[in-house]
A and B are shown apart, each in its own frame.
Chain A
Amino acid sequence: MRWALTFGLLGLTGLLGLGIFEIWPRPCFPDPDEIALAWGVENSVAAIVLGQRLWDTILEVLVYVLAMVGVRFFLAGLRWQTKLPPVAETPFFRRSADLLFGPILVFAIYVAASGHIGPGGGFPAGVIVGSGLLLLALAKGTEQLAAELYEPKLEGLEYAAVLATLVLGALVLIFGLRSATAFVAGNILIALEVAIGAWAVLHRFAAARGEV
């Protein structure tokens, strides 16, 4: 164990050294501001994530969706015998969570839609919506929220969003579409996928009570 740790640390240091002294082969990057200019958006991060490196993003989305499908598939068969009594939360907390969810959603939409101008984008927006859903789950109980959200429809929406992302990616990659609208649409689609996926996975694990 000790030897493995020593070698691991030495190897890590070596890798870092290779990186710092540029012995490690590095691809040559153009200036971020130039990329932003070329793609016609103000936020260079968005220009890289949704423009220059679109393949990375598309494949990342696919990995995420695949993980979610896997969790859904493998946890779907688990059933528990004893039903848990529903969690009793105070009406005040329940109502506050309901009231808070609206502003959270609006903020998430803002973060997604303004991702090409300033900091933001699809991923944080989706995570913000996911946190809002979890807040509701905390207040109402997971099962109740799942019944209210009607999961099969959400699942359909998520796959539709994935398809739309692929079509959008094809438009950008093959037909050379370059416009801010494509960025806004891409960010919103990614936000949808991340939010629904986060909720679906967490709901499955909560339903299985962590006993997998």
Chain B
Amino acid sequence: MTTVVLSALAFGLALFALTQRRLLWGVLGVGAHSLALAGLYLSLSAPDVALTEAAVGFGLVTMIYLLAIRRTGKLVVAACPIYPLLYQEGDRIAGLEWEILEGFARWCHLDLEVLWVSRQEIFELLRAGEAHLGAGGFLPNSESRVRFTRPILPTKLVHVRCQDGPAGVVAGEPGEALVPHPIVAYEDAEELAQALDRGEVGQAVVDLLRYREWQLKRAIPDASFTVLPEERWYSFAVAPGEEELWASLEKFLEELQARGELGELVRRYLG
């Protein structure tokens, strides 16, 4: 009788493990399945095998899976902070992009993890496969291997001019092609602002939100600025080879737009 009950339990737990959409639950199901199998072996008077099954199936294998899904069961976002799209506020992360990403992670049953890095490192992490998404006021550029999603928010580039001298840009952003040479590339907007402040570069090309941040923080000296006429937009960058992720993020954004929630978010964060 015990044998039949334990067999049924093992079968049921295996089915449970197979049908879970969330990896963590699947792993726990496999562990519980192993325990049921161990009980089954015990009832068949094979205690040595039962002990080994419990140690390997429930202990070692579960631990290995947990170590593995810590990376793969997560949606890893490499980002640089930009107010009010994605920023850290005390212990928590907030922002327009954050709310979209949170909704998306819930939608596809993944845990969200943010790595705060510089603009240049985002590309490195995406190419190395260490991060799935790049975020934080990402402007699409000619980077061929990274895919971009549909626009989240329109913006423009601003040409800031403090004095004569070389122009500074953020490496990898589309500003590079728009200003006269010589050009100095910086890792992220913060370094660019510092260089501008120190007088290393006389001009800079950045997007509207970052320029507003500089002005609010008084990070740069007084400057004249011209808004460049080309339309630009912020979007998410998706790591090469993550076609499925790209497609589902596109679909999610499309639905968000269709329901009008994206417009609602933009109104709430940007007025």
Chain A residues contacting B60 (CB-CB under 8 Å) are 127, 130-131, 134, 198
Q: Is A124 interfacial (CB-CB < 8 Å)?
A: yes
Contact B59 A127 (CB under 8 A): yes
Which of B4-12, B65-73, B170-178 binds A? B65-73
Residues from 31 to 67 in B contacting A, C-beta threshold 8 Å: 47-48, 50-52, 54-56, 59-60, 62-64, 66-67
Residue interface mask A188-212, B partner, CB < 8 A = 1: 0000000000100010001001110
Contact A134 B50 (CB under 8 A): no
Which of B124-132, B205-213, B234-242 binds A? B124-132
B69 to chain A, nearest CB (A): 11
A31 to chain B, nearest CB (A): 15
Q: Tell me, in angstroms, the Cα distance from A171 to B218 when the chains sit together.
A: 81
Count of B residues near A, CB < 8 Å? 25
Residues from 79 to 103 in B contacting A, C-beta threshold 8 Å: none
Q: Tell me, in angstroms, the Cα distance from A80 to B62 when the chains sit together.
A: 26
Contact B56 A127 (CB under 8 A): yes
Q: Is A87 interfacial (CB-CB < 8 Å)?
A: yes
Q: Is B115 interfacial (CB-CB < 8 Å)?
A: yes
Q: Is A51 interfacial (CB-CB < 8 Å)?
A: no
Question: A interface, by DSSP: helix, strand, loop or mixed?
Answer: helix
Chain A residues contacting B63 (CB-CB under 8 Å) are 131, 134-135, 138
Q: Is A137 interfacial (CB-CB < 8 Å)?
A: yes
Contact A131 to B125, CB < 8 A, known contacts A111-B51, A137-B67, A202-B64: no
Residues from 117 to 141 in A contacting B, C-beta threshold 8 Å: 118-121, 123-125, 127-128, 130-131, 134-135, 137-138
Instruction: Count contacts between A and B, CB distance < 8 Å.
Output: 64
Q: Tell me, in angstroms, the Cα distance from A137 to B70 when the chains sit together.
A: 12
Residue interface mask B116-143, A partner, CB < 8 A = 1: 0000010011001110000000000000
Residue interface mask A76-105, B partner, CB < 8 A = 1: 000011101101000000000000000000
Chain A residues contacting B115 (CB-CB under 8 Å) are 85
Contact A119 to B50, CB < 8 A, known contacts A124-B55, A127-B60: yes
What are some 26 contacts across the A-B interface (CB < 8 A)? A43-B48, A118-B47, A120-B48, A120-B51, A121-B48, A121-B52, A124-B52, A124-B54, A124-B56, A125-B55, A127-B52, A127-B56, A127-B59, A127-B60, A131-B55, A131-B59, A131-B60, A131-B63, A134-B60, A134-B67, A135-B63, A137-B67, A138-B63, A138-B66, A142-B67, A202-B64
Show the binding face of A for B, using Cβ within 8 Å. 43, 45, 80-82, 84-85, 87, 111, 118-121, 123-125, 127-128, 130-131, 134-135, 137-138, 142, 198, 202, 206, 209-211
Show the binding face of B for A, using Cβ within 8 Å. 47-48, 50-52, 54-56, 59-60, 62-64, 66-68, 70-71, 115, 121, 124-125, 128-130
